[in-house]
Structure 1
Amino acid sequence: MVQTKPGSQTIDETDCPVPLATLGALYRGDAETIDTIVAGIPDRTRARLAAYLYGKSHTHEIGLRVAATCAETDLVQVAGVAGAVLYAQSRSRPPRPAERISPTGRRISLAGSTRSRHA
């Protein structure tokens, strides 16, 4: 296991179907970068990656984006019924761009501070 930083959740390298460097590039990438990276990943591995990413709350949207590039048969073979659901969800709505999250995991808004001064 690789510790991401002291006190944080660990990433089990054996669960991730791609190298951690690729996973990091997907996590940091915009929609175009994600599409470029995914295009070079073999079909079956891409399906496993989609299921892996979808199963994690912070990479859920990236998982849907990757699943949108997969064949239903590949997703079902690697994830069973969950793969069929993932296939359907990835095609039922347009994928949103990969969202950037602050390092603390919370969105930062300054709008609330202005409102509190004028209230």
Structure 2
Amino acid sequence: MPAPQARPPSTDDCPVSLDLLGTLYRGDAEVVETILADIPSGTRARLAAYLYGKSHLHALGLRVAAACTETDLVRVAGTAGAVLFAQSRAAPRSMEVRTPGQRRISLAGSRSVA
């Protein structure tokens, strides 16, 4: 019986541990910047592309991409990496990631009936 082969990494695999991803997701801007500074540039670019591709992690992907060079993002994601780089520079620096369970508030249905 042949030995089982390791499966190749999928594009859906996160390039960092889930613990680190959770810390990034929950961290404030200062924590995120500190963590990103310790992640190698290529891994950081892969993480930005991974996060940006997930609708619920899109804003965090932009924040990570802001800590990447255009060269690294293009190497990892091609033309999409160039777009990600541009969007990360155009996004407001005070962009905050919503925390789990935090809901958007809409006043659309709040009119009282008299």
Query: Would you call these one fold, judging by a TM-score over 0.5?
Result: yes
Shorter-chain-normalised TM-score: which range? 0.7 to 0.9
The residue type equivalent to 1:61 in the other structure is: A
The change in CA–CA distance for 1:62 and 1:115 in structure 2 (over 3 A counts) is: same
CA distance in 1, matches of 2:106, 2:80: 39
1:59-113 deviations in Å (ceiling 9; x for gaps):
11110011011010000000011000000000012230222231xxx71659688
SS at 2:44 equivalent: helix
Report the TM-score, using the length of structure 2 for normalisation: 0.78
Report % sequence identity: 61
The change in CA–CA distance for 1:18 and 1:91 in structure 2 (over 3 A counts) is: same
Specify which of 9, 12, 15 is matched with residue 17 of structure 1: 15
CA distance in 2, matches of 1:93, 1:108: 19
Gaps of 5+ in 1: 1-11
Q: How does 1:6-85 map to 2 (within 5 A)?
A: 15-85=13-83
Aligned residues: 103
1:3 is aligned to: none
SS at 1:16 equivalent: coil
Structure whose alpha-carbon radius of gyration is higher: 2
- Is the Cα contact below 8 Å between 1:75 and 1:83 reproduced in 2? yes
CA distance in 1, matches of 2:46, 2:106: 39
Report the TM-score, using the length of structure 1 for normalisation: 0.75
Moved more, 82-91 or 107-116: 107-116
Gaps of 5+ in 2: 1-9
- Quote the RMSD (CA, aligned, Å): 2.4
